[in-house]
Every structure is written in C-alpha cells, then in structure tokens.
Amino acid sequence: MKVLLAMSGGVDSSVAGALLLEEGHDVVGVTMKLWGGDSDTGCCSVSDVDDARRVAQQLGIDHLVFNFGDDFDRHVVEPYVRDHAAGVTPNPCIECNRHVKFDRLLRRADQLGFDAVATGHHARIGRTADGRLTLERGADAAKDQSYVVHMLDQDALARTLFPVGSIDKSEVRRIAAERGLRTASKPDSQDVCFITSTGGRDTFLGDRIEFRPARVVDADGEQLGAVDAVEMVTIGQRRGIGLPGGGPKRYVVDVDVDGATVTVGDEQALLDDGLSVVDVVWTDAPVAGEVLVQASAHGATLPATLTVGPTASATGDTVAVAWRTPQRRIAPGQSVVFYDPTDTRVLGGGIAVRATTVRLGPPTA
C-alpha cells in the first residue's frame, strides 16, 4: 500500500513510519507547514520540521513539506480569535485535526495517488461483524487520543492508519531507541503551536482583538469585582477573575461578552442537568440512548442519554445530552465526544454550546 505518513517531528510519527516499513508499505513522509508566525511550542517549530526530515532520512524514505498555512489560518487561527471575542472557549488542536491534518491532507493524498494517510495518534481502527469501521481508544489508556480524532467518519477511517495505536508509549520509545531514531527521547508536545511560551494567550489575542473590561457579579447581579478582559474568561474558571482572597470559593458560571458581565457562583451553581452539542459528526450512524461522554482530552467519561435533534445543519446533527446526575458545566466551544457504554469505541462528537440555565445554591466555604 502507498502510504503518506504525517510526520510532526515527534517520536510517535517516527515509529509509525518504522512500523509501516516493516509491514511492507511504500511510505513517503510529509510535514505540514501550518503556522507562519512565532512558534516555540507545539508541533510547528523549525526544530520539529528538522527532526521529521532527519528521521525520514534515517528510515530511508522521501520527505515532503506541504504548505497548508492558508487552511490553518482560515480554519484554526481565525476561528480561535473570533470565538474568544465572542466569549467562547475553542479547542484549536481538534479543529486543526478536523480541517487540516485529516481533511486537507486526505484530499492531497488522493490527488497524489496515495492509498492511505498515517499518523502517530494513539487510537485504533476496528471493524464490526458487518464490515463497518470503528474508531477505538488507543491501547495505552494514559496516551489515548481517540478524543482528538473523533471527527473521522467512515470515509476518512477507510483511508487512515494509526500504526502506534495498538502499543504502549513505553514500547514506542523502546522501538525508537532500538532503531536509533533521533526522536526516541524527545518529550511529547502539549501546547498550541501558535501560542508562544513567552507571550502566552493574552499576548496573542491582545494583538488581534480589543480587550474589554467587565463586571464580576453574583447570581443576584451584585458586583463583586472586575476583570480587564472578558474575552479571556471561561466557564469553570476560579482564579484570575478579580475577586479578593479569603472568601468562599467562586467559579465562573456565565460569560456575557456583549453585556461585559461575568457571573460567578459556588460549585452548585456550576452544575447542569445536560447540554446541547452542535455540529455532531458520527463515526457511523447516529446514536441515541445511553452512552458515555467525554468533554476534555484526558477527562473522565460520564454516563448520559443522547437525543438526536429533528434537524441537522450542513456541518452535522444537534444532540441533547442529559446527564445521569448533574455535572459541571462545559464551556461553550469545547469538544464533546460520545463513547459506547464499554468506554472503548467512539460513536461521534461535536461542539458544546452556551448553557441557558444556572443551578443556584448556597455559598460554599
């Protein structure tokens, strides 16, 4: 099989290449040039591209660089800025996977005559008894990345390979060291590539939008403090919201950008009975009923019931999630992923939208 291997410059994609070659595939490595600005974190630095190129040399495969900067700006950076300006908390790495690292790369692979695209994600692709493809958690539970690739449907899964998804991370590093790959001991990348460690999110957004101060109020509307930038506040936040120390624990339960108001409350006020999820993409057919729901990359899955809305947009279904027991509110803009009751198989996922209710309770010390 002719395989286009996405090489980020990390150990996982490096070992993915070695395993593909062992299986007899015709492999070509590619590194995607995405962010053209300053980058000292994530997977877009100059050193990462150099590592990918050098590993390709070690593996004896060709290495290409695709400039997808325009796609990255349009689908990742610009929405990231717009969302913050609207008081929404986006997940740029998932949007990069959705629009660039899979959709855009798969289309380029098709144009060049490749049979499949491979990445170093820790996830697995299986098949049901009737031949339908499944997206499943990686073998290493601590490194599982099925959450961040939940948007892959049947068509994408049929043209995707996850060579390291069935082995533990320790085994990945052992294979890399055994083969002398330069990335064997390289730390994992965790950060957003276009947010520098020196400037941070405040600097990046402050250069692109005008921050607006906001009141911090309780559920009765009484002002308790103030923040310098309402656009930087997110649901569930406790620190950095302009409140004096020593009082009861308070958390952000609502962000009203237009009204320049941040509402805070105790932990009880953070709880919701459910939420709405839009732009839902299903791995296969839509699913209703009892599922498990995960709302952060390494968060716990929680039992809930899904109801699929009667209408769908061009970008996916709308789903109502009813928690079995009330749970902390999920910030609008975050990805919400549905797993089967065994907690092993991805069913689909979408984007949380703003909650409409606030559960009030007495202050908590």
Known catalytic residues are 96, 193
Q: Is 258 helix (H, G, I), strand (E, B) or coil?
A: coil
What whole-number distance in Å separates Cα of residue 33 and Cα of residue 65?
7
Please name which of 177, 188, 192 lies closest in space to residue 140, comparing C-alpha atoms: 188
Q: How many CA atoms lie within 13 A of 338 on its CB side?
A: 32
Beta-bridged to residue 316, according to DSSP, are: 313
Q: How many CA atoms lie within 13 A of 196 on its CB side?
A: 10
CB count in 10 Å sphere of residue 323: 17
- The SS3 call for residue 278 is strand
CA–CA dist 18, 6 (Å, integer): 13
Return the closest-CA partner of residue 10 out of 211, 204, 227, 173. 173
CB neighbour list of residue 178: distance below 8 Å, 6 or more residues apart: none
Structure tokens at 190: 């965790």
Helix (H, G, I), strand (E, B) or coil at 283: coil
